[in-house]
């Protein structure tokens, strides 16, 4: 195949949140501390700086729920409860609730939560006033967090009513809630201390380790090759051999992009395929006129398929910030999947941010658990 001129822009609209990128040559500054794990109707995920998120996943992800609370109609919506706890002895959980698929939808966010037992009746001290959260969801007041957890440990579910109404509009299961909190306490070193909520002990709060510092990465910008640059034959040949859907997605390979990383290194991004709501591209590193190798992306866990290790989904490339972003949707509405950012430091593309939601539970990306967090120092802009 003859060399091709370089034209179209591969990059798609940048996702709502965080960005993505590489392994082999690509590393993470610190791996996430735990693999996301489910506890009955709850899921727990913790980041590399030990901030942990527990989410009820039994409702909107179509998994169903073992037992509905007594007195709750069968057509009552199932909502989600979200609990985030940073590491460190003085940290306190943040608790948010929503009964809507998309928490940003307009509705009355001020209302109440009632914790009910197996008989469907509210438990003692189990009624809580909610306030509107900036996201559009509802938030439990900080002063009520300790009481909420103490009562929820004995509850079967929480039920939500908007405003001053007593009508149940949505609910979430508490099955697995205690196990989820116990797992978080163990990872953060709270077990057996007064800073725990489940496995409380007599050890002083100061025995809880402080939160790890976020890794620091100095970003380095790179440059995009001109649209008049000729795509090398070894790049177009690789496209033909490894991108089965490329001709339908990108006729003639006009969407191939090249980026100068310096020191004789060129990164090539090749559109390879598309589905209903995801478009994927493959990345290759060229180090001389005859050598082209796949860019293998680093992830907290090994890639399920090594052949896909150099692929990114719904890519956005920002040469001036030195970052590559990706946002992979688990389904069309975007309530599950992952969003990553990889940052070029002059030697490697480092995985500097990762949020991930495995269960399709109605949560938009603002609430997805953070698995990788990094302090990224932006490139210094040159004076003109």
Mean pLDDT of the chain: 86
Q: For residue 71, what are the contacts with CB-CB under 8 A and spacing of at least 6?
A: 116, 120, 121, 168
Per residue in 153-172, pLDDT (tens digit) is: 999 999 999 887 888 999 99
pLDDT of residue 302: 78
> Computed from CA positions of residues 116, 122, 127, 130, in that sequence, does the dihedral angle turn out positive or negative?
positive
Structure tokens at 135: 């996201």
Give mean pLDDT, residues 311-336: 96
pLDDT of residue 9: 36
Give mean pLDDT, residues 349-369: 93
Give mean pLDDT, residues 295-322: 88
**What are the structural domains, with CATH classification, of the chain?**
4-30+216-377 (no CATH), 37-207 (2.60.40.1880)
Assign residue 334 a region (left: φ > 0; alpha: ψ between -120 and 50; beta: otherwise): left
Cα torsion for 111, 57, 94, 214, to the nearest 10°? -150
Biggest distance spanned by C-alpha atoms of the chain: 77
Nearest residue to 326 via CA among 174, 228, 318: 318
pLDDT of residue 337: 95
- The more confident residue out of 381 and 232 is 232
pTM, full prediction: 0.87
Q: Is the confidence at residue 91, as pLDDT, over 80?
A: yes
Give mean pLDDT, residues 276-303: 92
What is the DSSP-derived secondary structure letter of residue 24?
S
- Buried b or exposed e, range 294-315, using 16+ CB within 10 angstroms: bbbbbbbeeeeeeeebbbbbbb
d(CA 258, CA 270): 9
Q: Is the confidence at residue 382, as pLDDT, over 70?
A: no
Q: Is the confidence at residue 303, as pLDDT, over 90?
A: no
Per residue in 218-270, pLDDT (tens digit) is: 999 999 999 999 999 999 999 999 987 767 778 878 899 999 999 999 999 99
């Amino acid at each position: 195949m003859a060399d091709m001129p370089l034209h179209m822009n591969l990059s798609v609209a940048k996702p709502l949140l965080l960005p993505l990128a590489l392994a082999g040559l690509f590393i993470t500054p610190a791996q996430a501390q735990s693999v996301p794990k489910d506890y009955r109707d709850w899921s727990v995920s913790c980041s590399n700086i030990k901030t942990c998120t527990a989410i009820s996943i039994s409702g909107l992800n179509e998994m169903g729920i073992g037992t509905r609370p007594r007195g709750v109609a069968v057509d009552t919506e199932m909502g989600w409860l979200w609990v985030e706890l940073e590491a460190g002895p003085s940290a306190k959980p943040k608790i948010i609730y929503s009964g809507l698929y998309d928490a940003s939808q307009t509705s009355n966010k001020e209302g109440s939560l009632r914790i009910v037992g197996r008989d469907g009746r509210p438990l003692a001290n189990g009624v809580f006033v909610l306030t509107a959260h900036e996201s559009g969801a509802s938030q439990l007041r900080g002063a009520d967090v300790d009481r909420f957890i103490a009562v929820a440990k004995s509850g079967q579910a929480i039920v939500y009513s908007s405003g001053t109404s007593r009508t149940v509009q949505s609910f979430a299961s508490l099955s697995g809630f205690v196990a989820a909190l116990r797992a978080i306490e163990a990872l953060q070193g709270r077990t057996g201390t007064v800073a725990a909520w489940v496995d409380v002990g007599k050890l002083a709060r100061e025995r809880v380790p402080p939160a790890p510092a976020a890794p620091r990465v100095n970003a380095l910008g790179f440059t995009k090759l001109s649209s008049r640059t000729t795509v090398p034959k070894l790049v177009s040949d690789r496209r033909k051999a490894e991108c089965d859907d490329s001709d339908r997605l990108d006729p003639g390979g006009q969407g191939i992009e090249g980026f100068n990383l310096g020191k004789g290194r060129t990164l090539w991004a090749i559109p390879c395929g598309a589905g209903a709501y995801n478009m994927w591209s493959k990345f290759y590193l060229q180090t001389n006129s005859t050598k082209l190798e796949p860019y293998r992306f680093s992830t907290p866990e090994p890639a399920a398929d090594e052949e896909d290790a150099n692929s990114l989904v719904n890519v956005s490339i920002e040469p001036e910030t030195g970052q590559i972003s990706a946002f992979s949707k688990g389904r069309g509405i975007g309530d599950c999947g992952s969003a990553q950012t990889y940052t070029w430091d002059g030697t490697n593309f480092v995985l500097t941010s990762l949020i991930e939601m495995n269960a399709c539970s109605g949560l938009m990306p603002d609430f997805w658990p953070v698995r990788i967090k990094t302090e990224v120092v932006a490139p210094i802009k040159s004076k003109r």
